[in-house]
Amino acid sequence: MTRSARFAATCLLLSFTAAPLLATAAPKPPTAQQTLMAKCSAQNKGKKGDEYKSAQKACLSGGAAPAAGNASQQRMKDCNAQAATQKLQGDARKTFMSGCLKKQ
């Protein structure tokens, strides 16, 4: 058997053995962001141009996630202000910040 014939046979064998492995991979469920984007896109179907863009922006920003982000940012801001008022530094500041962020 020539070198090129062995190579072709090996490629053929690999293609048959690898195909079932690739076909058995289960599709991943969509993330929350992907689900939200699909929902907003379906709601705004038929709109075009700037009207579509503004409707998408309003729909995508109307979720609960930004509110949670703002609450955690506010908590961090408040704890930082308290630590600055108490003039904490180093390990004392780290310990204070950890406790402050957990209790609020």
- Give tens-digit pLDDT for 1-52: 788 888 877 767 667 665 666 656 678 888 888 888 898 889 888 888 888 8
Q: Which two tokens stand for residue 49?
A: 């141009």
List of residues 6+ apart from 93 with CB closer than 8 A: 83
pTM, full prediction: 0.36
pLDDT grade for 96, boundaries at 50, 70 and 90: very high
Helix (H, G, I), strand (E, B) or coil at 98: helix
Domain boundaries, the chain: 73-104
**What pLDDT, on a 0 to 100 scale, did the predictor assign at position 65?**
42
